[in-house]
Amino acid sequence: MRFTFLHAADLHLGSPFKGLSLRDEALAARLARASRDAFTDLIDRALEERIAFAIFAGDIFDGDWRDAAIALFFNRQIARLAKENIPVFLLKGNHDADSVVTKSLSLPELAHQFPTGKAGSFELPDLRVALHGRGFSRRAESENLARGFPAPKAGWFNIGVLHSSLDGRAGHAVYAPCSLDDLRAKNYDYWALGHVHAHEVVARDPWVVFPGNLQGRSIRETGPKGAVLVDVEHGAVAGLRRLIVDRARFAEIALDAAEHDDPASLLRAVEARARAEAEQAEGHPLALRIRVSGASPLHGRLAADPARWRDEIEAAAQRAHEDVALERFVLDTEPAQAFSPVAGDFDFEALLDECLADPALREAARAALATIAAKAPSSGDPDSGGLADEIDALLREARDMVLARTENGGAS
C-alpha cells in the first residue's frame, strides 16, 4: 500500500512580524498577510498531492485571540480537506495550550484533536495507520510527555505526534524535553514533531522530523519555510519531500566597513549584496537586516547621523529589488584612529563610558525602552527578545553618535 501524508507545525496564525517598521504600506500589507497566504497555499498543495491525511503538530495559533477570525480562517481551510474525506489530526503546543487559548470553536468533521491530560490514539483502519499524541495543557510544559505514549499497534504504521524541544535546540525554550532514545524506545515508524522552527531530519531510524515553521516571522527565522510530505510504501517511509509555501523571507547582510573608504563604495556593496539575497528569495518579499561593522574612516560620518545613513542604506537595498525592505540597520563601526579628546587632558570618551556604566542610567534606559515596547504591537512570543535586551547596542550607538558629532563639530 502506498500513501502520502502531510506533516506541518508551528503555523503561528495571528502572529505579527517582529522588528519591522516598514515605510512601504503596500509591502507591509503583503507581509502582514504572509502567514495566512502560506497556509492557504499549503492546503492547495496538499489537495493537489492527494494526501491521505494531515498532521499539525502544535502552535497552530500564536496565542489567545480576541475574536474568532483567526480560528474561523483555520477552520475554513481544514474544512477543504474534510470535504475531500481527508482526516486532520491536531495537537496543542506551548502557544495554543489549554491555558493559553481560552476560546474554542467546533472542529470540522474528520478533524481530530489529541488530548492534553494524557496521550491518546487515533486509527485509520483502511491505511493500517495508528497515530499517538498528547498536547499541552499549559504553556511551560516541563514533563517528558514521550514516556507516556502507548505501545505501537502491531503490524500497523505507527506515528508519534509531539511538540517538544527534544534534548534542546538553540533559540527555543525547553518544552516537553525528551531524548532520541525515548522516542526510539516506542518503536514507532515516524515521529511528527513541532516547536523547533528550523527544518530538521533528526533521525531516519525511525524517522524523527521537525518540518520547521510555515512562515518566517523575524530575522531569527531566515531561509525557505514550509512543511513536509511523507511518502509511505509497504508500511515504511519511502521518502520525505519539503513543501515550501512561505510568502516572505528574512535575511541578514554583514559588511566590513574597513573595505570601504567612501560612502559610495559602501552603498554599492549594499546594493550588490541585496540583489544577491533578492535572487535567492525567488520572488518573495524580503526583509533585510544590514549590519556594518569594523574600523573605518567612515565611522565618524556614519555615527554622527545614523538616521540619514539608514535612509541611504535602505534606498540602496531597494535599488536592488522593489520587494526588498530594510528590517533594521545595525551600525557597529569603530574609528580607524583613536578618538582625540576635545581639549587638554580631558578624556571625553572615558567620561561617556563611565556614564554608560552607571547602573542608574542603565535602569532608566530600560524603563524608557519598556514604555516604548508596551505601546508597540506585541509579538506574543515569550522566547523572543525585546528592545530592553538590546540596551547595550542602543547605548553604544548613542555613545558613538555623541563622539562623532563632537569630533566632527556636528558635521555629517
- Residue-wise pLDDT tens digits, 130-187: 999 999 988 788 899 999 999 999 999 999 999 999 987 777 788 889 999 999 999 9
Q: What is the 3-state secondary structure (H, E, C) of 160-198?
A: EEEECCCCCCCCCCCCCCCCHHHHHCCCCCEEEEECCCC
pLDDT tens for each residue of 42-51: 999 999 999 9
Residue-level pLDDT at 410: 45
The 10s digit of each residue's pLDDT in 336-362 is 765 555 545 555 566 666 666 777 776
Sign of CA dihedral 218, 223, 225, 230: negative
DSSP secondary structure, 347-406, as one string: -HHHHHHHHHT-HHHHHHHHHHHHHHHHHSPP---TTS--GGGGHHHHHHHHHHHHHHHH
For residues 339 and 253, membership in a common domain is answered with yes
Among 56, 395, 384, 402, residue whose Cα is nearest residue 227: 56
pLDDT score for 13: 87
Q: Last residue of a domain, which of 198, 221, 244?
A: 244
DSSP-derived secondary structure letter, 257: G
Longest Cα–Cα distance in the chain:
88
Range of the domain at 10: 2-244
Residues 180 and 253 in one domain: no
Helix (H, G, I), strand (E, B) or coil at 2: strand
Q: Are 248 and 216 in contact (CB under 8 A)?
A: yes
Reduce the DSSP state of residue 322 to 3 states and report it. coil
Same domain, residue pair 185 and 285: no
146 and 170 inside one domain: yes
Give pLDDT tens digits for 221-266. Answer: 999 999 999 999 999 999 999 999 999 899 999 999 999 988 999 9
| Domain boundary residue, one of 211, 244, 277 | 244
pLDDT-derived band at 334, boundaries 50, 70, 90: confident
Task: Give yes or no: residues 234 and 337 share one domain.
Answer: no
222 & 151 share domain: yes
Q: Is 94 helix (H, G, I), strand (E, B) or coil?
A: coil
Contacts of 397 (CB under 8 A, 6+ apart): 303, 306, 331
* Residue after which a domain boundary falls, among 218, 244, 270: 244
Indicate whether 380 pLDDT > 50.
Answer: no
Higher pLDDT, 98 or 284: 284
Please give the Cα distance from 83 to 48 (Å, whole number): 14
What pLDDT is recorded for position 311?
92
- pLDDT given for residue 383 in this prediction: 44
Name the DSSP letter for residue 265.
Answer: H
Residues 83 and 212 in one domain: yes
Contact 356, 399 (CB under 8 A): yes
The CATH number linked to 89 is 3.60.21.10
Q: Same domain, yes or no, for 125 and 38?
A: yes
Q: Which residues pair with 204 in a beta bridge?
A: 207
Count the Cβ atoms, other than its own, within 10 Å of residue 99.
16
Are 54 and 163 within one domain? yes
Which residue carries 518573495 as its cell? Answer: 284
Residue 33 has pLDDT above 90, yes or no: no
Residue 299: left if φ>0, alpha if ψ -120 to 50, beta else—which one?
A: alpha
The band of 21, judged by pLDDT with boundaries at 50, 70 and 90, is low
Q: Are residues 153 and 233 in the same domain?
A: yes
Per-residue confidence band for 217, with pLDDT thresholds at 50, 70 and 90: confident
Q: Peptide bond before 206: cis, by omega within 30 degrees of 0?
A: yes
Is residue 65 within 8 Å of residue 71, measured between CB atoms? yes
Instruction: Give the residue-averaged pLDDT of 66-73.
Output: 80
- Tell me, what's the pLDDT at 379? 43
Q: What does the pLDDT read at residue 325?
A: 86
**Claim to verify: residue 170 and residue 48 sit in the same structural domain:** yes
Residues found in the chain: 412
Residues 160, 152: Cα–Cα separation, whole Å:
9
Higher pLDDT: 76 or 25? It is: 76
Q: What is the secondary structure of 115-146 as a DSSP string?
A: -SSS-EEEEETTTTEEEEE---SSSS--S-GG
| Window from 93-107, 193-207, 367-381 with minimum mean pLDDT | 367-381
Q: What is the pLDDT of residue 102?
A: 60
Identify the top-confidence range among 51-65, 94-108, 175-189: 175-189
What three-state secondary structure class fits 4? strand
Please tell me the total count of domains within the chain. Answer: 2
CA distance 407 to 336: 13
120 and 226 both lie in a single domain: yes
Q: What CA–CA distances, in Å, run from 392 to 14, 299, 305, 396?
A: 31, 18, 19, 6
| pLDDT for res 378 | 47
259: burial class by Cβ within 10 Å (0-12, 13-18, 19+)?
Answer: exposed
Amino acid (one-letter) located at 43: I
